Structure 1
Amino acid sequence: MPMYRKSMLVLLVLAAAVIGGIFYGLHAQEQAVPLDAAGEQQASPAASRAETAEVTVYVTGAVQKPGLVTVPEGTRIAAAVEACGGLLPTAASESINLAQVLKDGQQITVPERQQLAAQAVSGAASGAAPGAAQAKAAAAGGAASSGLVNINTADEKLLDTLPGIGPAMAKRIIEYRETQGPFTAIEELKRVKGIGEAKFAKLKDKVCI
């Protein structure tokens, strides 16, 4: 009998040790799962912020609903215009680069065809018939009948003929009017990077809008 009881006691101790080991292993696994989940939760906000980066721009001019628009980073001007209800029938969409990627704080001005036509006429010599003035300006590729260069319609080659304006500066002038809209006064040339008072003084008698 004593040997039987001793054997039973040993078996009970071994069974308790096995059961305890099983419970310990299950408990350790349960503790490991929340740590992984917490790691995923910590990484998730950073990834979410990267995916939802946004820029805010101001769209004005010939669009259905001018105003501020917030769009995902990397969006192009065309999408911002659509967010404002699209272009008006009178919009001169060819005067802006709809494929350009937006920058935060940028202003996009969509001019109207009538506005551009009026500016072309105002730059022509006084006394000339409006139709003839426009035809001459178009034929000269941006040069008005008065011999002045129209900074709203001149191409890179024609702008390059102006004093102090090389190919790089000509590109900046074209980029400015594509992103900010047509010039409303020749003094706005000073807003183009690289054109200061001294350079503008050489240009002001040779350009028009």
Structure 2
Amino acid sequence: MNRTGALAVASLGLLGLGVVARSRWPDSAPALDCEPGAVRVVDGIAVCGDGAAPSAPQRLVLGQKLDLNSVSEDDLARVPGIGPSLARRLIRAREDQGRFASWAEVAAVPGVGAARLETLQATTELR
């Protein structure tokens, strides 16, 4: 077989591998067949039904948002882009003024610029 034939065989092999990989690639369907609020953790595995409620870091990994009006300072500090000093300022503001009622109140906390506000909106919610 000449070099052109070998390249053709290799190309067809790679194309076939790509087709197989695409057909086996995970789809966008949820892995669990329950509402996000019903997800529980048993031995570190997310399940529907009985078990412990996910911790704040587990909720973030599961794609769930944290409640900014009840999350602890330690858990909020673990959110990427927040850190301990901003978490402390947010918790103090929440304690001083009461629950956050709007994102404008969150934006008024020193250290919350546009980028951090966007991070907070993506990872937390105001309940």
TM-score by length of 1: 0.32
Q: Flag the structure with more relative contact order, 1 or 2, with Cα contacts below 8 A and sequence separation at least 6.
A: 2
TM-score by length of 2: 0.49
Q: Rg bigger for which structure?
A: 1
